[in-house]
Amino acid sequence: MAETATKDMNVQVVEDKVTSPWKEALRTFLRSKSAVAGTVIVLFFILVALFAPIIAPEGINEQKLGDPSTHLVPPSSEFWFGTDEFGRDIFSRVVWGAQISLTVGFGAVVLSAVLGSFLGIIAGYYGRWVDTIISRFFDILLAFPSILLAIAIVSILGSSLQNALIAIAIVNVPNFGRLIRSKVLSVKEEEYITAAKAIGMKDSRILLRHILPNSFAPVIVQGTLAIATAIIEAAALSFLGLGAEPPQPEWGKMLADARIYLMNAPWTMIFPGLAIMLTVLGFNLMGDGLRDALDPKMKN
């Protein structure tokens, strides 16, 4: 019996040793209460954005023009978040605004991650003058405060939500580029990369099959945190009149339109502001959890 128990214990030890790194990362992530809470918040807002046509009781710009009594109405059973100066239901506009803010956040981060990762991989793998040129390009972009650079880009391209997305993506390119470049510099020195070069494998194949998969974990973490930053930057640009245009229910634009009613109708600013705060908080908590789960340096 003792021998059988010892064998079972040895089998269990072997199974634990061959556990997939991704499974171990998932376990670490799920053990973090804050990370799970952040994920729940993010999933909640994603579901709100997806099912906005069902959740929102009113249209984006449906107004009660013939009934002045519905203008600037405080929260009630009929209007959960109250109404704005045009009699529009704030709850419906906040729900629809989730689509816009999340679209800009995800779109900007995907675009910046693709461009930044491409430039970072090329710079880290080839080095020399290629690395010098790309690194100096990153340094130039990082020399400007992100919001000021975004404002300058939107001013050149023209005020619109699409141009704001492009500006935010450009601003975040160096963050992804420098991150993946540093990872590539260490990965390319591994023995399996040397072996791949020795057998004559093409650079493109090495980059796609070996370098990129082994360098992408930090990008996932950075991307999650960058979505929160992108949502704030999009709201800031819209607040300044350089992003969403009326009558789009973007949260930053809603804050800008409601700022003159802060004293007599504070709910017009409170609920869009809470939506921004909770969404950003959710992505930050989830990003911190992913960092702890995927970064070996964070593990004891």
Q: What is the pLDDT of residues 186-237, one digit of tens each?
A: 887 777 777 877 787 787 777 777 777 777 778 888 888 899 999 999 999 9
The answer to whether 269 touches 277, Cβ cutoff 8 Å, is no
In angstroms, the CA 164 to CA 170 distance is 10
Taking 90 as the threshold, does the pLDDT of residue 29 lie above it? no
Question: Nearest to residue 216, comparing CAs of 145, 290, 107, 130?
Answer: 290
pTM of the prediction? 0.83
Percent of the chain with pLDDT over 90: 34
pLDDT at 20: 65
In angstroms, the CA 284 to CA 295 distance is 16
In angstroms, the CA 228 to CA 114 distance is 18
Cα 149 to the center of its chain, rounded Å: 19
In angstroms, the CA 265 to CA 72 distance is 7
Structural domains of the chain, ranges and CATH numbers in brackets: 31-59+82-298 (1.10.3720.10)
> For residue range 192-202, what is the model confidence (pLDDT) as tens digits?
777 877 787 78
Angstrom CA distances, 197 to 126, 185, 273, stand at 13, 16, 53
209-212, long-range: CB < 8 A, 24+ apart: 211/121, 211/125, 211/184, 211/187, 212/117, 212/121
**Cβ atoms within 10 A of the Cβ of 45, count?**
20
pLDDT at 59: 64
DSSP 244: -
Question: Nearest to residue 164, comparing CAs of 243, 249, 97?
Answer: 243
| Exposure b/e, 127-141, CB count within 10 A at least 16 = b | eeeebeebbeebeeb
The answer to whether 90 touches 76, Cβ cutoff 8 Å, is no
Angstrom CA distances, 177 to 46, 87, 170, 197, 228, stand at 27, 46, 11, 24, 18
Taking 70 as the threshold, does the pLDDT of residue 67 lie above it? no
